[in-house]
């Protein structure tokens, strides 16, 4: 199995069985995202506790890339401090938008999304959840649009 197959399997798995899907009882932050180019819609909720992402859930309706990306993101950020989340956002953003950016090993399963940078129209599908996360962390209640 080559890397492309492995990456595809991760995306298929997270699209079919999204992790942290649903709503939280008492979120401390929430934001909505919309990618009109593809029709992806995302609602993200977080519980922040002591400067960490204590819990996170998402729901919504979107393509396989947007759903898998949100699922992978929630797994990656749970338990992380806000500076760690910010750093991860930068690394993921580079991976998605810079064709020559290296894919650092600490990205783990998030590396499965690196293939989208070959398809500029899908980059917004993969980055929607991250922009929505930023809005939630900033306490910005206006819906996020990717364009």
Give residues in contact with Zn ion (CB under 5 A).
Answer: 38, 40, 63, 66, 125
Q: What is the DSSP string of 14-63?
A: HHHS-TTBS--SS-SEEEEEEETTTTEEEEEEEEEETTEEEEEEEEEE--
| CA dist., res. 73 & res. 20, Å (int) | 10
CB of 82 to Zn ion, least distance (A): 27
CB of 88 to Zn ion, least distance (A): 21
Beta carbon nearer to Zn ion, 63 or 101: 63
Of the candidates 29, 107, 115, the one whose C-alpha atom is nearest the C-alpha of residue 64 is: 115
CB of 116 to Zn ion, least distance (A): 10
Beta carbon nearer to Zn ion, 33 or 95: 33
Beta carbon nearer to Zn ion, 36 or 104: 36
């Amino acid at each position: 199995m080559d890397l492309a197959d492995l990456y595809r399997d991760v995306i298929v798995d997270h699209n079919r069985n999204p992790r942290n899907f649903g709503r939280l009882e008492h979120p401390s932050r929430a934001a909505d995202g919309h990618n009109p180019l593809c029709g992806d819609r995302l609602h993200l909720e977080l519980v922040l506790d002591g400067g960490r992402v204590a819990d996170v859930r998402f729901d919504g309706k979107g393509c396989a890339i947007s759903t898998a990306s949100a699922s992978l993101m929630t797994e990656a950020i749970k338990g992380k401090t806000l500076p760690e989340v910010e750093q991860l956002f930068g690394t993921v953003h580079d991976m998605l938008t810079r064709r020559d950016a290296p894919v650092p090993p600490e990205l783990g399963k998030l590396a499965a999304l690196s293939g989208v940078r070959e398809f500029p129209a899908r980059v917004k599908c993969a980055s929607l959840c991250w922009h929505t996360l930023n809005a939630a962390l900033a306490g910005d209640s206006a819906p996020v649009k990717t364009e």
